[in-house]
Structure 1
């Protein structure tokens, strides 16, 4: 079977590409990376340095004409978490207008306008997507599922914590796959029970085995049009109807809570630390220890807002320094830089306390060594990239599973 061609959107520094192309079964035919808030396109520069400029677009995807994007078998992307509400319908059109700049609608437009839309979708987002927004729990994900249902896709999703399957970082993300109704895999999916696909024969279940604490699978239909879903879905309810695992087929959702099933050896923070000399800039001077300890510690104090309003503030303590015998905490975009922070990682070494190096942060996302090292790219920016990135190993395993399913149909 030939390699599957891939459209990679919101590419960042290429996490999806690395995970998929490492299987030997995928080839990125076209990619796009655009950072709206910066003049210098740092992530795109790294992407081009690693993969070349050919077939790579560094332009706002909402302004890229669909005709420019080549046909491909798979569309992938870790799109930004935004407000996905539907503003209005277009007259005399199947299209929709979501809020301006919301990039989900760029995915929708590409799928809608392409004469030969991708047969498979492989998308990623933060796990709170299943519960957003706070005043209408689950609405955003319902809009996405209904959108894909209208476009002829069946969907499966799972919230995966990479560390639950032996990877070095506790990073929880929702991954979802779409199967177009024209594919053989869609027909196989359609003829399985929801329970069978979720627990046994599904693409994600084959890559990341699960168990369950309950045999109960909740089912409900999303039958309303998109505007109605946007305005009324789950109004007045405190909890989202979407559990961490589920499927959508022909407008019907089946969802349940699952637990990871993994018996292998896990990678821990100690395993990814550099063995040689680490530059002095990453070490914390002893006169800064108190600041770090305060930020990492438990607090109960009265604070005053800029408006003059006083309020009680409290938060629990964090492990300080970070435990070396466990997978790391989640890397966030603010991981880089010298300033003391509650959320940055600090490790104890024989030479004292220090922050993580860019290479170590890359290892936590299972990127190649020094993938983001490039002239003109600061260590702080390299950490920022990894805060936005995904764990490559998760993409790799799902990619292998998807190719195996497709090639066996």
Structure 2
């Protein structure tokens, strides 16, 4: 491949994928944007649309940081695929929904799923693009591997089968960012796919699947893992078409068939449980706390402390629902305040606002108990400070952005490994 790896970014949010692939002003997230990031990616087109709100704040922030050129702020389902530029790599963090197949088309486009489900928007692009991207890089919540509850793993099986039918091999890994030295305990599945005319696909064909998963694959190069000697991989074939898989895959199965790491090529799945093999430095919450003055609004008033303690505490009580039905309710306690000596818990979309909450982060400083600031939440996702600061965007909305975002450092590591694979494969081919 000559020149830059051209990238189309879907479900762009406030630009986490872009920061991981391009850096910020050419600098790397893993160095707090102090040192140069050596990669070869160029985002040539992006799309961000929030269907649940009239105001498109995430898209506004994206445009403020990266410019309006080649950025689309319309429903992805309405995008004219013919006007979407050809690209080498398609990336995006798409929501976890119900991926079941709704109908079969009678023409060459094959199968489509339920209207409004964003996976099928990706599928549409890959199906209709005359020049398909050679590489795909996606992110999702880890429960994708075990959903829905009645057919555990069906949704992921549909995605794998869809990509297989489109000519791709797929590798995946569930990654907890904190286990690789990053500041947040955020578990997400990362999916890489390679088109059958790519040299990476050909390399996978010529290697044992377990070797690719553990030693030679892109994810193994980016985020090293190991397996217990006693563990054996699960090996099976995705049989039938997408409709058959949608209707029959693992019906009634109490456990999912997919482990946290795996590979699929030519419909054949190899999957095994792996564990991190990281020996570097670990980040903790204390490292990221703002040293300067923090606004009083983030501190918890003494009169509100009982509400916070109740929200965070263990409960065993009678409750009444909207219909007047009484039931026993119980839940365990949360750590209060959050430990400063560990990586943080996962940021959620409801992190902002003053009201007491079971899941919001609270830390104790020399000045008292307080919530995390927008800058601290950005740092936990390895974004540049004040990346989401913009006129008209509230602190609560900034917290929402970070609850929806990904840990940029994970994208950066995988992006570097993928770039090296792409260029080395092409160098090998030229020899």
TM-score by length of 1: 0.99
Alignment map for 1:124-273 (pairs within 5 Å): 124-213=139-228, 214-273=230-289
Counterpart CA distance in 2 for 1:256 and 1:73 is 29
Match of 1:30 among 38, 45, 50: 45
Counterpart CA distance in 2 for 1:37 and 1:62 is 15
Q: Does 2:410 align with 1:394?
A: yes
Alignment map for 1:10-409 (pairs within 5 Å): 10-22=11-23, 23=37, 24-213=39-228, 214-409=230-425
Secondary structure of 2:149 counterpart:
coil
Counterpart CA distance in 2 for 1:270 and 1:227 is 50
- Contact persistence 1:95–1:109 (CA under 8 A): no
Counterpart CA distance in 2 for 1:371 and 1:224 is 46
Counterpart CA distance in 1 for 2:9 and 2:350 is 25
Counterpart CA distance in 2 for 1:80 and 1:95 is 23
Counterpart CA distance in 1 for 2:330 and 2:3 is 57
Q: Deviations along 1:156-199, whole A, 9 cap, x unmatched? A: 00000000000000000000000000001110011110110011
C-alpha deviation, 1:225, in angstroms:
0.5
Counterpart CA distance in 2 for 1:403 and 1:386 is 26
C-alpha deviation, 1:94, in angstroms:
3.1
Q: Which moved more, 1:55-64 or 1:305-314?
A: 305-314
Structure 1: unaligned runs, 5 residues or longer: none
Q: Which moved more, 1:309-318 or 1:114-123?
A: 309-318
C-alpha deviation, 1:135, in angstroms:
1.1
C-alpha deviation, 1:236, in angstroms:
1.4
Counterpart CA distance in 2 for 1:190 and 1:51 is 39
Counterpart CA distance in 2 for 1:301 and 1:191 is 60
Counterpart CA distance in 2 for 1:63 and 1:397 is 32
C-alpha deviation, 1:223, in angstroms:
1.8
Counterpart CA distance in 2 for 1:245 and 1:206 is 14
C-alpha deviation, 1:212, in angstroms:
1.4
Secondary structure of 1:335 counterpart:
coil
- Contact persistence 1:130–1:242 (CA under 8 A): yes
Q: Deviations along 1:9-44, whole A, 9 cap, x unmatched? A: 000000000000124310001000000010010000
Structure 2: unaligned runs, 5 residues or longer: 24-36, 426-431
User: In the comparison of the two structures, how many residue pairs are matched?
Assistant: 409
Counterpart CA distance in 2 for 1:309 and 1:239 is 33
C-alpha deviation, 1:93, in angstroms:
2.6
TM-score by length of 2: 0.94
User: Residue 3 of structure 2 aligns with which residue?
Assistant: 2
